[in-house]
Amino acid sequence: MATNTAQEFDSVIAVCKSLFLKKTKDYGTAWRILRPASITDQIFIKAQRIRTLEEKKISKVGEDIGSEYIGIINYCIIAMMQLELDENAPFELELPVVEASYNQKVEETKALMFNKNHDYGEAWRDMRISSLTDLILMKILRVKQIEDNMGYTLASEGVNANYQDMLNYSVFALIKLGVR
């Protein structure tokens, strides 16, 4: 069970990382200009589009939901990197630095996934993809509320944990869609 999940996770992430690094070569780290709330809104747009496509079954743009889940994964990683970067960090980051940070965020998130899978018994395998979409949307609303509260929470995990959950839900959806 765990070996298969690890391989599937790594395969999905390889697709996401390849696209991310290609775009970084094309655009540099232009994403550094985004404030945390803007990144959250980008994730919201992608998740809302997935939900719309799930309900309407037709895309007028021609992109499938798989590409949107890939976008969610990469924006979650951008968000986690931005949260960690010092405000005095350079705007343009070197590709090896970006790749190392990407890998670190993925490994931290993968470890969380395995801990939760242990406790939940890989329940995600029996879930509908639409439920994973709804969970992502719920997590986005939680992050928006935390951001509106200036990061203050009384009893809840912070935004980073929510980004990790959204990343993992997106990986699960891509595994279920057969993206590898």
* pTM metric for this prediction: 0.94
* pLDDT tens by residue, 17-48: 999 999 999 999 999 999 999 999 999 999 99
pLDDT-derived band at 146, boundaries 50, 70, 90: very high
How many Å apart are CA 95 and CA 105, to the nearest integer?
15
Whose CA is closest to 108, among 38, 44, 37, 164?
164
Percent of the chain scored above 90 by pLDDT? Answer: 81
Domains contained in the chain, number? 1
Domain extent for 21 = 2-177
In which residue are the tokens 């995990």 written? 157
At 2 the pLDDT is 44
Q: What is the mean pLDDT of the chain?
A: 93
Neighbours of 17 (CB within 10 A): 19
Q: What is the CA radius of gyration of the chain?
A: 16
Question: Can you tell me the distance from the alpha carbon of 111 to that of 50, in angstroms, rounded to the nearest whole number?
Answer: 26
